[in-house]
Amino acid sequence: MKTVTLPGGESVPALGLGTWHMGERGSDRAAEADALRLGIDLGMTLIDTAEMYASGGSEEVVGDAIAGRRDGLFIVSKVLPYNADHTGTVEACEASLRRMGIETIDLYLLHWPGSSPLEETFGAFEQLQRDGKIRHWGVSNFDTGEMEDVQDAGRGNCATNQILYNLTRRGPEFDLLPWCDRKGMPVMAYSPLEQGRLGGHKALRPIADKHGVSDLTIALAWVLRRDGVIAIPKAARQEHVRANLAALEVALDDEDIAALDAAFPPPKAKKHLEIL
């Protein structure tokens, strides 16, 4: 398993398990938990969730999947901006812990910028760290200028920024990814497959045939090739988990990259950070 190093020196898997939209239908819950268990067995021990996903239902699926096997896992969750004052942050974290049946969240993120002062939210994160309820904290959906504010308010202790990044959403390459690289801060790429919409793209098919994998596997390999990026695709079925894992074995060559750049051009100017 390729790994990425957090600012504090801890290594985490570069390929994790996303859970957005899991827990929305009770009839799917067992299969979703099974997919997460398979991913863990295959080395994808980083699991990303949030209190927003299915109004806590996603965290409950995570709780099902990790019951009795918490050791060695790296659990990520998020607080909603409108819960992100000091008291609300602490209460939201405690509720997430209960839903997942765990004592500590490894990485706790502010889901997107909100109205609560960053100093207040980060102060709550620090209290949660002192209380042993979280280990690291970070943010999600913050653009470059906002990350400057995060660095100031958080005294340089932000562990990551989780952003929308894939072949069709390359805007962060212009300034946000270089900024994070300079700070030694990895990013987490959510929806690295554009929620499956990259499947069947005509530019991916010949490259996929060349490597003997699916077109979505090629799209994920493109994200994973970049150092300092953690990809967290959702896979609610076991066959999708295995297809995602196969991306780690794909070595895209210069010809592949040139073809992908032609089909999905890199940004030539600053673009506002996109959000799904």
User: 53, 108, 165, 190: which one is catalytic?
Assistant: 53
Q: Is the separation of the CB atoms in 46 and 13 below 8 Å?
A: yes
Count of H-run helices and E-run strands, the chain: 10, 10
Please count the other Cβ atoms lying within 10 Å of the Cβ belonging to residue 8.
9
Tell me the binding residues for substrate. 111
Q: CA angle, 5 as apex, 148 and 270 as ends, to 5°? A: 35
Token code pair at residue 31? 């299969």
> Reduced to 3 states, what is the DSSP secondary structure of residue 146?
helix
Question: 166: part of which helix (H) or strand (E)?
Answer: none
Structural Rg of the chain based on CA atoms:
18
SS3 assignment, position 6: coil
Is residue 138 packed enough to be buried (19+ CB in 10 Å), middle (13-18) or exposed (0-12)? buried
Burial status of residue 195 (CB atoms within 10 A of its CB: 0-12, 13-18, 19 or more): middle
Catalytic residue flag (residue 82): no
Tokens standing for 252?
A: 């895209």
**221 by DSSP, 3-state: which?**
helix
Q: Give catalytic residues, as residue numbers.
A: 53
